[in-house]
Every structure is written in C-alpha cells, then in structure tokens.
Amino acid sequence: MEKQQAQEKIENLSKLLTTYNYEYHVLDKPSVPDAEYDEKLQELLRLEEKFPTLITSDSPTQRVGGEPLGSFQKVQHNVSMLSLGNAFNEGDLRDFARRAGDGTDNPISYICELKIDGLAVSLTYQNGKFVRGATRGDGEVGEDITSNLRTIRSIPLSIEETGTIEIRGEAFMPHKSFLALNEARHANEEEPFANPRNAAAGSLRQLDPRIAAKRNLDIFLYGVGEWEDSQLTSHSERLVTLQELGFKTNPEWKKCSTIEEVIEYVDYWTAQRPHLHYEIDGIVVKVDDLDQQEELGFTAKSPRWAIAYKFPAEEAVT
C-alpha cells in the first residue's frame, strides 16, 4: 500500500474509532459491537506499525503511554483551582442565597450540580489537542498526570476548538470498577481501597500509565479555567458548550430560580443518591450569570458565588 493511501486509511479509521469511543464512553450508546471496535483498532494498529511516521498523538491507539515516569512534574495553575465553602443544612443554603442577593442588584439564577466524589483535575487543549492534565494539588500547583488521564476513554484526545482551553472536572471510579478492583486486590491478598475516591486518587498517582489504564476510571467535566475569546456569559452555557465539544458532563444539573428550588433539588438527590453508579458527597450550587459571579468575587478562601452542600456523614455500617 502506498504511503498516501495508508495516510487516508489511517485518518478514516482514526475518525471512525474516535466516534465509536465517544458513543461508548461519553454517550453510553455504542452503535457497533465491541468486536467491530476491536477489529478496526487492530487494523489501525497494523497500519501504524507499517507506517509509524503517520501516527498522530490523538490516534485511538495512543491512549496508554510507554514507559512509567520517574516522578510527576509540578504544574502551575494559571487560574487557581478553587475550593468551595460548605453548607451543612437548609439554613446554611439560605444564608448563602441571602449573602449572594446582598451582593448584586439583579435577580439570581442558580445552577445545581452533583458533587462528584473523586479527584479534581484540569485538562488543557491547545489548537484542539489534549496537551496536559494535572491534579488540583493545593489549588495553585498540581502534578502533571497527563499520561494517566489519557487512559480515561471518556476524555477526548482532540476537540474542534482552536486556541487554548483549560477546563476542570472530577475524575472518579464508578462503583462497578471499584468493586471489581477490590475483588481483584482481595484475590491477590492486597489491601482493598477504602472508597472509590481513594481508589481513583491512587490510580491517577501511579507512575506507570498501564496501571491507570486498567482501573476503568471516568470523568465529568464541569468548569472552565482559561478559555481564550470565550463569549459565554453563564455557567449553564459553559456546561452545554463543554458537552457540544464532546466532553462528558454530568446530566443531572438543573437551573433553579429560587433557593426553594435549590432545596428541592438537594432533597431529591439526597434520596436518589444510592441509585447513582458513582459516589457523590454533596451538591454544588453556583450563581449562573458570570458577570454576577465576578460582582460577588471571593472571600480569602473561596467564591461568594458558589457553595458545596455536604451530605451528612453516613452512619458507619456495624
């Protein structure tokens, strides 16, 4: 096969497999059986082996890197990865809404989202390519875990967006992956992980990406750090745009016009929490309008325009 023909075939296979991967891992709606995905992936691997100069960084074959790292590089976050103030009851939520209302003349809409119990991470894309992934760290400096994050199939290796976009989300281990991992650790007489958050954090802190690749991690994206020339004016628009770009966003978010509606959402998900296939440890409530967020600003530690309602600690099962 000529190199030109191989290039075309590789591009077509790469595009097809990227679509299949998106349908399976982001939409949870595969359009082809696993066997067809595997067959096309083997075909791409054979072509890339014959024409290695045609391999691109966003090829579906490039998810699991080569050698383990010696250590993780430090990463400076250009926009701090914030931590949220906590609310523990309805009164705290009402106090939050009152303070926010005192800080702006316009009516406030809130966005409620499930607070995923995982590891906060930052993803950077330059001219559409996934170039760096980092942990939150202390909010200012995190660790470069790009090679481990590349193994999370729901993270796109390329997107249709020019310039630099840095977005935030929570990497997590679904219940099914957590149970399977602890069963395997038990069989190997290894210490089980105490909970999915520790398992996710432990997996992403592995220096060998081949280990992270086996942990069946997932991610929900929910925020923006840097986004050159973004014209978006609300958090809800950002969530919709992240989804349109091919990112996995949590579908349970809701726009609320009053704190009563926020409290209803909290009550609903307090009851529904056991039916989710991933851990949540609360509800995040944000002011939707970005100008109002800027007007409200920050306290020394956290934004005045967001709060994390924390579920009461679960009774230890005796």
Ligand X SMILES: NC(=O)c1cnc(N)c2cc(Br)sc12
What is the smallest separation between the CB atom of 238 and ligand X, expressed in angstroms?
10
Q: Is position 115 annotated as part of the catalytic site?
A: yes
CA angle 147/60/37 to nearest 5° reads 135
Q: Which is nearer to ligand X, 116 or 159 (CB)?
A: 116
Helix, strand, coil shares, percent, the chain, to 5: 40, 20, 40
Terminal alpha carbon distance of the chain = 66
Q: Which is nearer to ligand X, 46 or 175 (CB)?
A: 175
Beta-carbon contacts of 309 under 8 Å, excluding residues fewer than 6 positions away, are 86, 87, 88, 92, 93, 115, 266, 282, 283, 284, 285
Q: Which is nearer to ligand X, 256 or 284 (CB)?
A: 284
Q: Which is nearer to ligand X, 16 or 82 (CB)?
A: 82
What is the smallest separation between the CB atom of 301 and ligand X, expressed in angstroms?
11
Q: What is the spatial distance between Cα 3 and Cα 103, in angstroms, rounded to a whole number?
A: 63
Burial of 286 (0-12, 13-18, 19+ CB in 10 A): buried
What is the smallest separation between the CB atom of 50 and ligand X, expressed in angstroms?
44
Secondary structure (DSSP) of 171-206 = EE--HHHHHHHHHHHHHTTPPPPSSHHHHHHHHHT-
Binding site for ligand X (CB under 6 A): 82-84, 113, 115-116, 120, 170, 222-223, 284
3-state secondary structure 109-163: CEEEEEEECCEEEEEEEECCEEEEEEECCCCCEEEECHHHHCCCCCCCCECCCCC
What is the smallest separation between the CB atom of 239 and ligand X, expressed in angstroms?
8
Q: Which is nearer to ligand X, 120 or 259 (CB)?
A: 120
Choosing from 9, 40, 115, 176, the catalytic residue is 115
What is the smallest separation between the CB atom of 174 and ligand X, expressed in angstroms?
15
Strands 254-256 and 110-116: antiparallel
Please identify every residue annotated as catalytic. Answer: 115
